[in-house]
Structure formats: structure tokens, C-alpha cells
Structure 1
Amino acid sequence: MTVRAAWLTETGQTREDTRLTLSGLLTVNANAAENLPLKSRGGIVPGGFALTGATGSMTFTIGTGRAFVQGGRINQGAYPVAVTEPETLTVLDGDAQYDRLDLVELVVRDSVYDGTAATEALLRLVKGTPSTSPTLPNTPDGSALPLYQIRVPKGASAGGGGLLWESAVTPLRYPTVALGGIVPAGGFSGAYPGQYREESGVLQRWDGTVWVPYPKSAGGIAPSTPLLVSGSYVGQYREDAAGQLQRWNGSAWVYAEGRTTLLLSVSQSTAQSVSSGVWTAMNLNVTDVDDTAGWATNVYTVPRAGWWRVAGAVTWFTESTSGTRGSRIYVNGAGVPRATWQIGAGPGATTVGGTALLKLAAGDKVALYGLQSSGTTMTTLGGSGYYTSLNAEWLRS
């Protein structure tokens, strides 16, 4: 028959009927398209099958647990298995020359399907092949669920101190849950839109193509780890990797206006020599505030696109009263005409500067330049109550 039921017919129900129908209560296996209708995601019930190695020996114990071992054939169904008492296994001594990898697995052997001439469930240790680059051995027979990998160093033996279990064992076990349950693991594809899993403490939903981190609730702020790639609705908020608030506008994440600002304030505390008639970058050696660590000597790397309020001022010493004094904001090596200020030299210290609104892109290079046309080399003033300075504040996208 092609239509089967469990606990319906008075006689004739087979073990395959029971396994196949009841395994529909488990999470679907999505590893291949042909698996979706009839195969379940095998795995352990979370929390079982802990491995404990005996110190100074080659012996270990697998603790109690429950699991579902999915058969390899489409109509084979999943086998419910329970280990009700701890099982002890012993690793064979290491090879004289090379390391090897051994495999600990939970196995169902069913002669109806695998030709093993056996009908049993067991915990099994499969010895690997020693090699300069050892690999895990293949499952000899039956339907198997991997639990652990054990690296056996060359020369390892009980007489030689046994295995260092903390470093020798790598977990391979993975969990399964009931259909609709949240799988507490990553590393697998979803089977249907609306399936959920938890990876590294973050809830994710399968949208039919990829796993999407899921906010705590509608209107909640999605956390920064892992970063929510696309928003679900206009007005959704997330926290970016730097801890700054962003809003989804329907096509892109933009920083929340009026809620998230960035500041830069740098200044010069020592005098700098400047040749006459040449725009010269100001070396600003004091950092008052730099929220993104974007300042380096005389250049600020813009961390965020949008409108910035940029202010600069250069203070000149009194070596000469001839010519003009100027300051200018440069972006990517070019002076900005509407962020250029010049005045005639005064009898004392001369400060020239101003403020401009500039639309900048992330990665742009911003700098403060100074100009003097006295005909001789002059110096800026640093300290003694006079500072040359550059300030920048992000305002909005």
C-alpha cells in the first residue's frame, strides 16, 4: 500500500509503518529535496550522550540519552533509540608513527535494509587509519549518528598516560526536536519558511532561502550579534556592530537622526612651520574626542555617510604683519571653496576659520590646511591659550 497509518488496522501494521508515520512528528530533513516529504532530521534529544574520559587511561564513558536515527532509504523511517545506562568503550593504543582519528557513533543495524544480518542498536567505536593527515573513518554498516571524534596521538597507550581527553575529543553530535520546535544548533538549511532555530543564542527564521535573525518582537531593536542584514518592515530598528542605532527605510539601514551622533575634536599644542604661499596640512597632535578612532596626524577618515558640520581654525604667530592668513577644509586632497577663510594679517596673533555643512561619504578623507602669504616662513601658535583645531559632527544621513 502507498497510504499507511499507525494504530489503525486491526492486523498487519508493520514496524516500517510505525516508524514512517510517527517520524512525521520530527523536524523535517532538508539536506536534499527528495528528503523533505518522508525523511526526518535525525539527532539526539538535547542534553544526552555526554562523553567522560577516564584520567590517565584509554577508556571513556558515553552517558544516557535519547536519539532518533534516520534510516538511509526513503521509506525506512526514523528509529527512536534510548541509552538507559552509561556505556564504557576503550580506545585501542596509538600507532607507532602516525596519529589517527576514531569515530564514536550511535548505530542501528537492520538486516531488512542494510544486509548486516543483524537487528540491533548499539554505541560503536570505529578505529581510523593512521596517517600524516588523518581523516575520520567511514561508517562500516547500518544507519549511524555521529557523536564524537577522538584524536589518538602516535604512541598513546594506557601505560603511557592515556589520552588528554580535554584536547583529544571533538563533539560531532547534533540535536533534533519535534516538528515546529526550535532547533538549538546551526550549520544546516531550513526545510520550510517559518522554521526556527537558535544559533549562538540568537533566534533565526528560515525565509525559504536563508536564515534571518529574528527581532525579539515587532518594534523591538534587533541586537548587533549577529547583524540583521535586511529589515522586515519600514521603521524597524537595529543596533549596528559599533552599538549605534539604525532604522530600516524600506531599502537600506540609515542611522537614526537625532539619536546617534559622532564627534571629532583635535587640536595643535605645538608650533608648526609653514612656508609662504602654500596650502599646508595642519598636524593636530591632541585628540580631545574621536568616537571612531578615525584621526591620524592630519587626516580624518569619515566613518559614516551623511551631512557633517565641520569647523576649522588656524592661529598664526606674529613673525610678520604682511600678507594674508587663511584656513581651508580639504576633502580627499582637494580644497573645499565654501569651507575656505582668509583675512589680512593683524598686529598680533591672527586666528582665521569657520564652519561649513558638508555631505561626505564613508571613507572620505578630511583635513585642515593653513595658508600664509607673508613672504617668509611662519609658525602656527600651539598652547599658551591659542590652539589650531578641527572639529566634526555627524548630523544626519
Structure 2
Amino acid sequence: MTTWLAGMRMTADRLNDTDLSGNVVFLARRGTAQSITSGADSSSNAISWDNVDLDSLSGWSGSQPTRWTAPSTGWWILAGGVSFEGNSGGQIRECVWYVNGGAISAGRSRPIPTTAISASGMTVIARTVPRLLNAGDYVQLVAAQNSGSSLNVFTGSYQPFMSVRYGGPA
């Protein structure tokens, strides 16, 4: 958020920073099945968004549907979740935030670290993390699991989702 000082000129950038702070600028969902391969997290398992409900800053492109790209340098708050179809194999169901193709610090969510995985499906909520991004940095929500075979993400009311809020200027 812009800190206004005596004598400062109003500019479009300063007014936009003030107006956007705390607001959701991107919201997307996965409405159809997507196969998540078994194994370690990888950008090849990034969720491909097929329902974009809000993209007020034009950070998403259908030509790269797994990515949201920051339009300007600043703090961005990432939130999301992934639901996996039922399968009792393996011990891991998780989601991981990636920036520019790699996992970020404090960006991993693995809520069930036991050996008992439900055969009825599981939702994993990603960690909500503030992240300083440069203009052009891209964000992906990556699903990971180790059931021993590919699992689809759930759809319907369990759809994976991703949201981005603007936190303020750097």
C-alpha cells in the first residue's frame, strides 16, 4: 500500500496500489479430471486451470494454463487446494507452490503424513503464503502423490482452485 506523504503526486501506479491491496485479482478452478502421476512433485503435475472466474490483471493465458504471471513487482498472497480421487495406496497427497518452475520455501502442504490414506478421496489445502514476486514471475500450484499409479483430481464441488490477492508494493 502506498504511504502518502505531504507533497506526493497522485499517479496511476500509486492509486492502483492503494485500490488493489488485499483484493483477489485471480481465481481459477479445474472443472474436468486431470491425471496426476505418482512420484515426487514436478511442474509436469501443475494444475491446468480450465475455469478462470477472475483475472482482473490479465496474468493467466490459455496458452500456458498452469501459470499465473505477476504483472508487476510486489507482494502477492497465494491460496489454493487440490482434491485427489480415492486410492489407499502410498502415503503422500500434497500440493506445492512453484515460482518460475521450482518449489518455494514454505510452499509445501502435506497434511496427512501417515501410512493410512483414505480410499474415499482427500482434499489438500495449499499453504496460504505471501510471496514477493517480480514482474514476469509465474506461479503454479503443483499436485503430488505416491499411490503407485496416476490419480485424477476430483471435480464438482471438490474442484481444485487457486486464488491470488495483491498484498502491496515491494
Q: What TM-score, normalized by structure 1, do the two folds share?
A: 0.36
Tell me the distance in 1 between the aligned counterparts of 2:17 and 2:131. Answer: 19
Tell me the distance in 1 between the aligned counterparts of 2:29 and 2:20. Answer: 24
Q: CA-to-partner distance for each residue in 1:368-392, whole Å, 9 max, x for gaps?
A: 1000011111111122x11101110
Tell whether the 8 Å contact from 2:87 to 2:118 is kept in structure 1 after alignment.
no
Give the gaps of 5 or more residues in structure 2. Answer: 1-5
Tell whether the 8 Å contact from 2:76 to 2:132 is kept in structure 1 after alignment.
yes
Relative to structure 1, the CA distance from residue 348 to residue 234 in structure 2 (aligned partners, 3 Å threshold; closer, same or farther) is: farther
Give the gaps of 5 or more residues in structure 1. Answer: 1-232, 240-244, 248-254
* Counterpart check, 1:339 vs 2:104: no
Tell whether the 8 Å contact from 1:268 to 1:285 is kept in structure 2 after alignment.
yes
Tell whether the 8 Å contact from 1:312 to 1:329 is kept in structure 2 after alignment.
no
**Paired residue secondary structure (1:263):** strand
Give the aligned partner of residue 71 of structure 1: none
Q: What TM-score, normalized by structure 2, do the two folds share?
A: 0.81
Counterpart pick for 1:303 among 71, 76, 82: 71
Tell whether the 8 Å contact from 1:267 to 1:286 is kept in structure 2 after alignment.
yes
Larger Rg, first or second structure (1 or 2): 1
1:199-218 residue pairs with structure 2 within 5 A? none
Tell me the distance in 1 between the aligned counterparts of 2:121 and 2:29. Answer: 17
Counterpart pick for 1:275 among 28, 37, 61: 37
* Counterpart check, 1:284 vs 2:49: yes
* Counterpart check, 1:264 vs 2:22: no
Relative to structure 1, the CA distance from residue 234 to residue 305 in structure 2 (aligned partners, 3 Å threshold; closer, same or farther) is: farther
1:1-397 residue pairs with structure 2 within 5 A? 234-239=7-12, 245-246=13-14, 255-257=16-18, 259-261=19-21, 263-279=25-41, 280-296=45-61, 297-344=65-112, 345-352=117-124, 353-383=126-156, 385-397=157-169
Give the aligned partner of residue 203 of structure 1: none
1:260 alignment partner AA: L
Tell whether the 8 Å contact from 2:87 to 2:120 is kept in structure 1 after alignment.
no
Tell whether the 8 Å contact from 1:317 to 1:380 is kept in structure 2 after alignment.
yes
Higher relative contact order (CA 8 A, sep 6+): 2
Tell me the distance in 1 between the aligned counterparts of 2:17 and 2:59. Answer: 21
Tell me the distance in 2 between the aligned counterparts of 1:323 and 1:268. Answer: 24
1:368 alignment partner AA: L
1:265 alignment partner AA: L
Alpha-carbon offset, residue 264 of structure 1? 0.4
Tell whether the 8 Å contact from 1:316 to 1:381 is kept in structure 2 after alignment.
yes
Q: CA-to-partner distance for each residue in 1:308-341, whole Å, 9 max, x for gaps?
A: 1101211100033432101011000111130110
1:356 alignment partner AA: V
